[in-house]
């Protein structure tokens, strides 16, 4: 987010994208109404972290 400080529109877009990603991740990892698969959360979060790392290495 710091790298996007000079471009507020990109910063807001990334924030919106991340919020959407979090909702999708939680939905995909949900086992039932009350249970979330924690290993699914960990794997998807690690994958997203790698994706974000690749985005900042330009």
**DSSP letters of 31-51?**
-SSS-B-HHHHHHHHHHHHHH
Residue 14 forms part of a structural domain: yes
- pLDDT value, residue 58: 58
Cβ pair 29, 41 in contact under 8 A: yes
**Which run of H or E residues covers position 18?**
helix 8-28
- pLDDT value, residue 6: 84
pLDDT tens per residue across span 7-37: 889 889 999 999 999 999 999 999 998 899 9
Residue 38 forms part of a structural domain: yes
- DSSP 3-state of 30: strand
Residue 1 forms part of a structural domain: no
Domain holding 28, by residue range, is 7-56
The set of residues, in sequence order, having a beta carbon less than 8 Å from that of 30 and lying 6+ positions away, is 36, 37
Residue 50 forms part of a structural domain: yes
Pairwise pLDDT comparison (43 vs 56), residue with the higher score: 43
């Amino acid at each position: 987010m710091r790298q996007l400080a000079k471009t507020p529109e990109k910063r807001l877009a990334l924030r919106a994208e991340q919020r959407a990603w979090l909702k999708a991740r939680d939905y995909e990892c949900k086992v039932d109404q009350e249970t979330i698969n924690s290993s699914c959360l960990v794997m998807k979060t690690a994958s997203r972290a790698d994706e974000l790392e690749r985005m900042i290495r330009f």
